[in-house]
A and B are shown apart, each in its own frame.
Chain A
Amino acid sequence: MRATRGLTVAVIGATTALTLSACLASPDQSGETAGPDDPIVVGVSLPLTGDFAEPGKGVQRGYEAWAAHVNENGGLLGRQVELVIVDDQSNADRVASDYERLINQDGVDLVFGPFSTRLVVPAAQVAQDYGFLFVEPAGAAAEVFEQGFTNLFYAAPAIADDHYAHLAEYILALPTGERPETIAVASMDDPFAQGTAYGLRDALAAEGIEVVVDEVYPPNTTDFSGIAAEIADSEADLLIVGSQYQDGVNLVVALQQQGYQPEMAAISGAPTNAEFPAAIGEKTEGILAPTGYTPTAPYPSNQEFVEAYEAEHGTPPAEDEANAWTTGQVVAAAVEAVGCADPSPECQTQLIDWLHSNEVETVVGALSWDAEGRPQSAHLIQQYVDGEIKIVLPEDVAEAELIHPKPEW
């Protein structure tokens, strides 16, 4: 907290000086006024406390690791990168005023997005109002891309609805006898969790697979035995869960307690969390999950990222860290290509235009976007195989063969 405040003060000081010098210098070309030695200041608001504090801190680690890596390697356009990170307390009103302040008062050169759909939308609106490029690491729900943003880019392989695209394809290609006939769905009342789960549900339901249970629960639910009883009673072949962490864990344990054994269990959210196996114990075998990132993915810049991150933190990066790093990569690619990084409308427009018409190599593969900022790929599908989570789909990057049917849990 104190460090952040100190940093903010320092940045405000720096930007005031910058603004002064900008006023004094002849404004021949905006943006050129900042000298080559001045840092590029990137403003971010993150949920460091409150409901999204866990993933928020993951994103913070990712951004900081990226900035440190860039600075060690000569910076961006030869300038050092400096992050100004403020805490929005997971509050949607606050996130908007945070970006307002970062852009307006602190005079940052660039902004990066916050965590979670609920915070991304109000933040993107502010960025749009000021004409800023807005690359974000965490707003995957369909509604993010239905707000008419032209400045927004999601720095991950796919939006929520497409996360399971590879799995849907796999299931529909199974021979009739092996194909699940019934589906039980349970999802947190959250646009991202639902988007992911319903993407798979709808893709399969459209091909005639019957949805026998379809439950939605509020985010603060702790007792999952009722939902588990319904799912167990339905004996559905395929279980689809749209969860974050604690609800996913509680639901899986409740299902195990009631002896429910699906042939296939696709759970988004919880399983890719490093604590998941510790919470569930040795009963994770065969659980499927979509992931936008894995440290073992064979993309060129990924190894560099994993090494840099591990050197600093001692553990491999998780998805939140990777999405943050990817955000940095995407913005950096645009900045390097266009040759500017300042708040002027000319520069920001050039950055936005460049991303609309180019592909960027990142730690989650090559990314390109449609006009609304939807990335044009699909997520990797992971599965717990021999106690470890491994990529099983798509086949060209798979580390293990998909287990079907799922062993008993």
Chain B
Amino acid sequence: MTGDLFAQSLVLGILLGGLYALLAAGLTLYFGVMRVVMIAHSAFLILAAYLAWYFHETSGLDPLLSLVITVPLFFVVGYGMQRFLVSRLRPISLTTMSVLLTFAVALTIEGLLGFVWSGTQRRVQLDYSSASIELGGVSIAVVKLIAFALAAISLGALYLILRKTSFGRALRATTQHPEAARLVGIDTDRVAGLGFGLGLATAAIGGTALALDYTIYPSLHWHWIGPLMAIIVVGGLGSIPGAAIAALLLGVAASLLQVPLGTTWAQTVFYLALFVTLMIRPQGFFGGRLAQRF
């Protein structure tokens, strides 16, 4: 591998890792807050990508502007989904039943996308789709940079919300000990709903970032859910910094391994990492005790 190719692959890996981090943050939040395995997260991602594409297609405006609509919309949908669907599951079987419930939601979204916009692959065609910035022999695609910036801003905001606001404290308290949280007067149901909404709002941002650089089609979400699940397990379920670190490391690893191993094998790095994590450190490498920290 030449030095240039190494640098290029490293940069691509970091950019991809950033996107993965954003997409995985929501997943780890659901699990951290309410032990919900949200299979439909990536389906919402693709839904957001479609909305961004459709917004661009009909209005001619930049797809990023669709965030003004999709972020609040997804927040409300997430809140509603938690309050009216997830909260009805019995606490004892919540984790397993949530897999089935959200699997059904994922299939429903996929079906609706296909029904409304057909199976045709769509792509947002922008003036800057293929533009890039040259930096010391490395080309950084503008769209990838935007996606990375969106990821960094969203994750930063998420971290601040969880750390610095009373809602964040309530959410963390709910996570750590729901009964104790209720005793000190926290409306844990409402907090859980808002937490779910927050997670889904990140899917709106992630999906829009995705739409900038990828061709989208209804079943694309199955491609994403596997690596994302691997990331949150490696990062430590419930830990947002853990998911971010795991996403960056795995993104870079996949990108660098692509050159010697080829695309097919490089993609298995996520599953290999998942396997190794479950064998030697099932609680994850960066999260500390299960879902205790953000």
- A233 near B8: Cβ-Cβ < 8 Å: yes
The answer on a CB contact under 8 Å between A221 and B263 is yes
Residue A296 lies at the interface, judged by CB distance under 8 Å to chain B: no
Report the contact-size class of chain A (Cβ under 8 Å from the partner).
35 or more
Q: Is A392 an interface residue (CB 8 A)?
A: no
Given contacts A215-B263, A225-B12, A233-B2, contact A249 B132 (CB under 8 A): no
Check A275 against B120 for contact (C-beta < 8 Å): yes
Within B122-169, the residues touching A (CB, 8 Å) are 123, 125, 127, 129-132, 134, 139, 141, 143-144
B217 CB–A CB distance under 8 Å: yes
> A47-59 CB contact bits vs B (8 Å, 1 = yes)?
0010001100000
Question: Which residues on the A side are within 8 Å of B255 (C-beta)?
Answer: 225-226
Contact A225 B120 (CB under 8 A): no
A250: chain B residues within 8 A (beta carbon): 214-215
Name the CB-closest residue of A to B130.
A256
B100 at the interface (CB under 8 A from A): no
By beta carbon, the residue of chain A nearest B2 is A233
Known: A218-B267, A257-B132, A281-B130. A229 touches B12 (CB 8 A): yes
The listed residue (B5, B129, B134) touching A259 by CB distance below 8 A is: B134
Contact call A217/B264, Cβ cutoff below 8 A: yes
* Size class of the contact patch on chain B: 35 or more
CB of A249 within 8 A of CB of B123, answer yes
Which residues of B lie under 8 Å from residue A232 when comparing CB positions?
Answer: 8, 139
Report yes or no: B4 in contact with A53, Cβ–Cβ below 8 A: no
**Given A216-B263, A257-B131, CB of A226 within 8 Å of CB of B217:** no
Within the complex, what minimum Cβ distance (angstroms) separates B119 from chain A?
Answer: 5
B108 at the interface (CB under 8 A from A): no
Cα–Cα distance between A258 and B15 once the two chains are bound (Å) = 14
Asked if residues A246 and B9 are in contact (CB atoms below 8 Å), the reply is no
Contact partners of B88 in chain A: CB under 8 A:
none
Q: In this assembly, does A245 line the interface, its C-beta being within 8 Å of a C-beta of chain B?
A: yes
Number of A-B contacts (CB under 8 A): 101
| B223 interface contact, C-beta 8 A | yes
The answer, yes or no, to whether B96 is at the interface (CB within 8 Å) is: no
B16 touches A223 (CB 8 A): yes
Contact check, A54 vs B132: say whether CB atoms are below 8 A apart. Answer: no
Instruction: Tell which of B12, B131, B220 touches A222, judged by Cβ atoms closer than 8 Å.
Output: B220
Query: Across the interface, which residues of B come within 8 angstroms of A280, CB to CB?
Result: 125
Q: What CA separation (Å) do A279 and B213 show in the bound complex?
A: 11
Q: Is A281 within 8 A of B129, CB to CB?
A: yes
Q: Is the CB of A189 within 8 A of B139?
A: no
A278 and B9 CA atoms in complex are apart in Å by: 29
A279 near B125 (CB under 8 angstroms)? yes
Q: Say whether A11 faces chain B, with CB atoms less than 8 Å apart.
A: no
Q: Please state if A246 and B144 are interface contacts (CB–CB under 8 Å).
A: no
Contacts of A215 in B (CB 8 A): 262-263
In the complex, the chain A residue whose C-beta lies closest to that of B220 is: A222
**Cβ < 8 Å to B, chain A residues 232-266:** 232-233, 245-246, 249-250, 253-254, 256-259
- B266: Cβ under 8 A from any A Cβ: yes
Question: Residue on B with the closest CB to A51?
Answer: B219
Contacts of B131 in A (CB 8 A): 257
Q: Which residues of A contact B121 (CB under 8 A)?
A: 54, 245-246, 249, 275
Q: Is the CB of B130 within 8 A of A257?
A: yes
Smallest CB separation, B275 vs chain A (Å):
19
CA distance A196 to B175 in the complex (A): 55
Within 8 A of A (CB), among B238-264: 254-255, 258-259, 262-264
Residues of A contacting B5 in the complex (Cβ-Cβ under 8 angstroms): 229-230, 233
Residues of B8-49 whose CB lies within 8 A of A: 8-9, 12, 15-16
What is the CB-to-nearest-CB distance from A11 to chain B, in angstroms, rounded to a whole number?
27
Q: How far is the CA of A232 from the CA of B132 in the complex (A)?
A: 13
**Shortest distance between the CB of B54 and any CB in chain A (Å):** 15
Q: Are B9 and A281 in contact (CB under 8 A)?
A: no
Q: Complex Cα distance A221/B57, Å?
A: 25
* Contact in complex: B215, A227 (CB < 8 Å): no
Establish whether residues A257 and B141, one from each chain, have CB atoms under 8 Å apart when the complex forms. Answer: yes
Minimal beta-carbon separation of A119 from chain B (angstroms): 17
* B108 CB to nearest A CB, Å: 16
Q: Is A220 an interface residue, CB under 8 A from the partner?
A: yes
**B280 CB, nearest partner CB in chain A, Å:** 28
Smallest CB–CB gap between B259 and chain A, Å?
6
Decide yes or no whether A94 CB sits under 8 A from chain B. Answer: no
Are B125 and A278 neighbours in the complex by a CB distance under 8 Å? yes
A218 to B264 CA separation, bound complex (whole angstroms): 6
Q: A256 to B129, alpha carbons, bound, how many Å?
A: 9
Interface contacts beyond A226-B259, A275-B120: sample of 5 additional A-B pairs, CB < 8 Å, sorted by A: A216-B262, A245-B121, A246-B123, A257-B131, A257-B143
Q: 12 A-B Cβ contacts within 8 A? A: A222-B223, A225-B12, A225-B141, A226-B254, A229-B8, A232-B139, A233-B4, A246-B123, A246-B215, A246-B217, A249-B121, A279-B215
Residues of chain B having any CB pair with chain A under 8 Å: 2, 4-5, 8-9, 12, 15-16, 119-121, 123, 125, 127, 129-132, 134, 139, 141, 143-144, 213-215, 217, 220, 223, 254-255, 258-259, 262-264, 266-267
Ranked 10 nearest A-B pairs via Cβ? A256-B130, A226-B258, A257-B141, A217-B263, A246-B215, A233-B5, A246-B121, A279-B123, A258-B139, A229-B8
